[in-house]
Amino acid sequence: MSGLKLFRTDTTDGGMTEVMPRLAEVEADVQGLVEAHMETLLGVTFLASEYGTGRVHGGRIDSLGLDENGSPVIVEYKRGTDAGVIHQGLFYLSWLLDHRAEFERLVRDRLGGTAASQVLWSVPRLICVAGDYTRYDVHAVHEHRRSIDLVRYRLFGSDLLALETVASVSSGTQLVHRVRPPAGAHAEADAGGTAMSELTAAVDEALLGLGDGVNRVERKTYLAYQRLRNFACVCRPQRRKLLVYLKVNPRDVDLVPGFTRDVAGLGHHGTGNLEVQLRTPKDIERAQELFRASYAAA
């Protein structure tokens, strides 16, 4: 893996031993490992393996899934470097867009009617998991108007798996939510609406500016910011505050009433167990460390 070295400490003499990276013996080993832990590794709910595309297309999709925002996901695997993995995945992605009803039936059978009715077809995704990629692969994903993630894997020893996002591109551009002030309080609502719109835009800028490969996906009730997985969800602004949910363990944070809250086990829009309440630009500054921690964990 580019630039990554892993060492194991020796408790007997205090020395360090490098754990050498390796590829899987066969492609099926990578596929089996990811499918068994897909939600943990990719933030995707596993739906089907080796899904047949019928006689006309005559192929099999390695893995089908549904991500945290309801977007359909195709996952294709290669043991090492293979220039065809992106084109193969895009071929299956085109098939999927032509067979939406079939995919929704699959979701209904696996996850129920509610999940099937909320499939987000505006941003279907392709995730490629391979031993490595060339610079031509990285360039190619930026030329396609699709959401594509290139993920490099390495195995270390007998029990360690490393994943590295090499490139991540999102299709389309989503707009920041506009505030709709309630009727009957026009002057106050207009002022409050402008302030909340500016606050939302500032949060958007802060989250997109955390690093490369941040994609933004719009759902009806929230905006999701993701690398490979969601790391922040910004809900539609309330009248006087903006709620952001982060993938940070609330037990690792000194919770401040009125600013941060543990919402594990509580129903809310978006994903993440740490709620951050933003009312002013200063609150965004206070939240920057939490934003960075969630981004780093994604």
As a whole number, mean pLDDT of residues 214-224 equals 92
Residue 67: which CATH number? Answer: 3.40.1350.10
Are 70 and 192 within one domain?
Answer: no
**H-helix or E-strand spanning residue 292:** helix 281-297
175, part of any domain: no
Last residue of a domain, one of 116, 139, 169: 169
- Separation of alpha carbons 257 and 198, rounded Å: 24
Predicted pLDDT at 143 = 87
- Separation of alpha carbons 201 and 214, rounded Å: 16
Predicted pLDDT at 192 = 57
57, part of any domain: yes
Residues 188-198 have pLDDT tens digits of 445 556 888 99
Are 95 and 21 within one domain?
Answer: yes
Structural domain including 83 reads 6-169
Q: What is the pTM of this model?
A: 0.83
Tokens (6 digits) for 264: 């594990």
As a whole number, mean pLDDT of residues 152-164 equals 92
Would you give the DSSP letter of residue 233?
E
Are 154 and 190 within one domain?
Answer: no
Predicted pLDDT at 1 = 52
178, part of any domain: no
pLDDT band at 2 (very low <50, low <70, confident <90, very high): low
**H-helix or E-strand spanning residue 85:** helix 85-97
State CA 139 to chain mean position distance.
21
Are 221 and 78 within one domain?
Answer: no
Are 20 and 161 within one domain?
Answer: yes
Which neighbouring-strand residues pair with 257? Answer: none
Predicted pLDDT at 170 = 83
pLDDT band at 178 (very low <50, low <70, confident <90, very high): very low
In this predicted model, which residue has the larger pLDDT, 137 or 4?
137
Predicted pLDDT at 57 = 74
Predicted pLDDT at 195 = 86
89, part of any domain: yes
In this predicted model, which residue has the larger pLDDT, 212 or 227?
227
1, part of any domain: no
As a whole number, mean pLDDT of residues 201-218 equals 92
Are 201 and 132 within one domain?
Answer: no
Are 293 and 230 within one domain?
Answer: yes
Q: Give the chain's count of helices (H) and strands (E).
A: 9, 15
- Separation of alpha carbons 148 and 128, rounded Å: 8
pLDDT over 50 at 177, yes or no: no
Are 154 and 192 within one domain?
Answer: no
pLDDT over 70 at 103, yes or no: yes
pLDDT over 50 at 186, yes or no: no
Would you give the DSSP letter of residue 180?
-
Average pLDDT taken over every residue of the chain: 89
As a whole number, mean pLDDT of residues 133-157 equals 91
Burial class (CB in 10 A: 0-12, 13-18, 19+), 69: buried
Residues 224-238 have pLDDT tens digits of 999 889 999 999 888
Residues 263-291 have pLDDT tens digits of 998 989 999 999 999 999 999 999 999 99
Would you give the DSSP letter of residue 132?
-
Query: For the residues of 229-272, what is the DSSP string, one character each?
Result: SEEEEEEPP-SS-EEEEESS-GGGS---TTTEEE-TTS--SSS-
181, part of any domain: no
237, part of any domain: yes
pLDDT over 90 at 158, yes or no: no
pLDDT band at 144 (very low <50, low <70, confident <90, very high): confident
In this predicted model, which residue has the larger pLDDT, 84 or 58?
84
pLDDT over 50 at 180, yes or no: no
CA atoms within 13 A on the CB side of 270: 27
Are 149 and 190 within one domain?
Answer: no
Are 165 and 235 within one domain?
Answer: no
